[in-house]
Structure 1
Amino acid sequence: MEQNADSVEKPKRYIFLLLTDFSILSLSTALETLRISNRIAGRKLFEWVLCSEDGQPARSSLGTDFEVHTGLEVLSRDDTILICGGAHIDEATTQTVVHWLRREARKGLSVGGLCTGAYTMAKAGLLDGRRATIHWENQDSFREAFPQVDLTTWTYTGDENRYSTAGGTSGIDLMLHLVSELEGEELADAVAQQLNYSSIRVIQHDARVSVPDRINLRHTKLSHVIHEMEQNIEDGLSSSELAKRVNISTRQLERLFQRYLGQTPKRYFTELRLQRARNLLEQTDMKIIDIAVACGFSSPAHFSKLFRRRFDNSPHGLRKEKLFGRRRQGFAQ
């Protein structure tokens, strides 16, 4: 019996929205996962459309223009939008893009963000009360801008029909997850093998290498203390409070920091706060006084003094460099 053409299942369609300075790596890993899925299956399971805000070529993270198929068109409810973000995501997230996303999402479309695309989703209100992730460099600024979002440090997230990734190769993880949901684990495993991706990471995998891992630190109590510091940047915890949380004396805690990190707990905590402050200065337009408070400094003057000593520049100076860089980029275009 001949199969009716109308009964053949249509390919699942993904709409990739390329924002200015989008990550080439995130786009390519996602597209390759879909392409290889089609090849292994021997039929067109997935198809994709590349779009930009105005239908014109989109500038990539490599500084080259990338051709697209269309602008912001009206989509089908069965489509899935994947927003490809990158650097300067706040500037790339225009009101036109936000309005389009809101309109299409109201139809019930699934929406995902690659690399920093979760910022655009949150700006459109699509992540309120939902789990999400974003590139680790944008975690601090995202948390300040969108407290209503349940931000995680996972490689990728899925909360009903909302998805997000943390950049790098995490686009592969998300797409393999979607392939598995739609076509089964066997195909997803076969695609992972073709990609030489030996281990499909579970959805709870932490995207950022932790401080203890980066310094090859395996002392459980010290790792716990560092985690407590990272989670309490604004409020702050004294050495005695930190020691109490891991059931050791303050003197023992200080010895651990000196042995493994070569500095006192107080100095290490200050370094964490200064690094977060620098992230917020570079990635947000928050007032400097608000950044000082958010990072646990008692006064703007004290914050500026420590910041200058650490980075050989003042918070105001770094903010001016950021603004100058934006203007220079605008002139170059």
Structure 2
Amino acid sequence: MNWGTTGKPDAAAGKPRRFVFVLLDNFTLLCFAAAVESLRIANRMADETLYDWVLAGEGGEAVSCSAGATFNVDIDLEELRRDDVVMICGGIFVQEATTKKVLNWLRREARRGLTVGGLCTAAYTVAKAGLLDGKRATIHWENHDSFLEEFEEVNLTKSVFVIDGNRMTTAGGTSSIDLMLKIIAEDHGEKLANAVADQLIYSTIRTDQDTQRLSVPTRIGVRHPKLSQVIQMMEGNIEEPISPSVLAKDVGMSTRQLERLFRRYLNRSPKRYYMELRLQKARNLLMQTDMTVINVALACGFASPSHFSKCYRSHYNTTPYRERGAQSARLSF
């Protein structure tokens, strides 16, 4: 079937567009598989090879994903063709998987003009190489806070995926499908992209205007507009927490009414819920960054390290210092 083209050189010439998937240690299988399957199905639906791909890895060695499966790669980190698209596949412990060799190779290929993308947490790798400075990007919501602390030059969004010039990033999970459908549509038209989505049983194609997290009502399982509004305000003001009385006033109710609302729907006080949000962010920063415990405390709205440590221990049954030490031990193992 003739799906049409956008007139791009590769599409017009019938030359397959090649993707180089660079597998980092502990990469997320879903993000990688979703991207490759989208390309494979595009080839199948078009009945011709529109895309091909190779797997690359540091040293040319086999790489294991976070689910435990091991993949043999096709090539080492070698010089690529100028029209290749590099897709870095990240996952858990992406900081440790982002080695000097990977960064140096990535910078070199970028200087040669290659398009570079980061799937899931690999936006960290692309940013660490300095390739996202001054550009829009996204990353999995769990890594959002730590990314903001480390890469101030990047305009980080909460979008499902972002394409900014010759840089691409995704938020993880099934967002690889959305990115690939966007690429397929631009290369060969919307009809083919929609056909691929149908084959994937993917009924809602998201754009770069869609955000990655569920709405507050869906996430907490409660549809109460004022409660949702207060929680959004809490989530947006972690470093400088807002008092329950001010929160209540801003949504047009009394502090007592706000207390009853939280007790009824979430079985906790507004103060307790807010504290849990702040401690969750603190734990993410401790696990994902090299920030000092004092700076983590300040970033999460705690005026003193002792109060932070006391609250953290009460909630997680360990101190921030021990949490940091346990994380280091896991990584060294």
Query: Which bracket does the TM-score occupy, shorter chain normalised?
Result: over 0.9
> Equivalent residue for 2:324?
319
Greater shift, 184-193 or 160-169, is seen at: 160-169
Shift of residue 314, structure 1, vs aligned partner? 0.8
- The whole-number CA distance in structure 1 between the counterparts of 2:89 and 2:133 is 20
> Equivalent residue for 2:240?
235
- The whole-number CA distance in structure 1 between the counterparts of 2:71 and 2:77 is 16
The AA in structure 2 aligned to 1:18 is L
Shift of residue 259, structure 1, vs aligned partner? 2.2
Q: Normalising by structure 2, what TM-score? A: 0.92
> Equivalent residue for 1:308?
313
SS in 2 for 1:54: helix
The AA in structure 2 aligned to 1:269 is Y
Greater shift, 146-155 or 218-227, is seen at: 146-155
Q: Are 2:250 and 1:245 equivalent residues in the alignment?
A: yes
SS in 2 for 1:320: helix
> Equivalent residue for 2:88?
83
Q: 1:54 aligns with which of 36, 50, 59?
A: 59
Shift of residue 101, structure 1, vs aligned partner? 1.3
Count of residue pairs brought into register by the alignment: 322
Q: Which has the higher contact order (CA 8 A, sep 6+)?
A: 2
The AA in structure 2 aligned to 1:112 is G
Aligned-pair Cα RMSD in Å: 1.5
Q: 1:167 aligns with which of 163, 172, 177?
A: 172
Shift of residue 14, structure 1, vs aligned partner? 0.7
Greater shift, 55-64 or 187-196, is seen at: 55-64
- The whole-number CA distance in structure 2 between the counterparts of 1:128 and 1:218 is 39
> Equivalent residue for 2:8?
none
The one-character-per-residue Cα deviations of 1:185-241 (angstroms, maximum 9, x if unpaired) are 100000000111111112222222244312222111221111111111001111232
- The whole-number CA distance in structure 2 between the counterparts of 1:119 and 1:145 is 9
> Equivalent residue for 1:4?
none
SS in 2 for 1:168: coil
The AA in structure 2 aligned to 1:307 is Y
SS in 1 for 2:58: coil
- The whole-number CA distance in structure 2 between the counterparts of 1:74 and 1:264 is 57
Q: 2:133 aligns with which of 128, 133, 142?
A: 128
The AA in structure 2 aligned to 1:117 is A
Gaps of 5+ in 2: 1-11
Q: Are 2:34 and 1:29 equivalent residues in the alignment?
A: yes
- The whole-number CA distance in structure 1 between the counterparts of 2:216 and 2:298 is 24
The one-character-per-residue Cα deviations of 1:98-128 (angstroms, maximum 9, x if unpaired) are 1211121122221111111100011011112
The AA in structure 2 aligned to 1:193 is D
- The whole-number CA distance in structure 1 between the counterparts of 2:72 and 2:239 is 44
SS in 1 for 2:143: helix
Shift of residue 152, structure 1, vs aligned partner? 1.9
> Equivalent residue for 1:263?
268
- The whole-number CA distance in structure 2 between the counterparts of 1:232 and 1:110 is 36
> Equivalent residue for 2:295?
290
Q: Are 2:212 and 1:212 equivalent residues in the alignment?
A: no
The AA in structure 2 aligned to 1:16 is F
Runs of 4+ in 1 over 4 A off after TM superposition: none
> Equivalent residue for 2:3?
none
> Equivalent residue for 2:106?
101
Q: 2:231 aligns with which of 226, 234, 237?
A: 226
Q: Normalising by structure 1, what TM-score? A: 0.92
- The whole-number CA distance in structure 2 between the counterparts of 1:295 and 1:8 is 54
Matches within 5 A, 1:126-205: 126-205=131-210
Matches within 5 A, 1:7-46: 8-46=13-51
Shift of residue 298, structure 1, vs aligned partner? 1.2
% identical equivalent positions: 56
Greater shift, 38-47 or 258-267, is seen at: 258-267
Q: 2:74 aligns with which of 58, 69, 92?
A: 69
Shift of residue 277, structure 1, vs aligned partner? 0.7
Gaps of 5+ in 1: 1-6, 329-333
Shift of residue 251, structure 1, vs aligned partner? 3.1
- The whole-number CA distance in structure 1 between the counterparts of 2:279 and 2:126 is 28
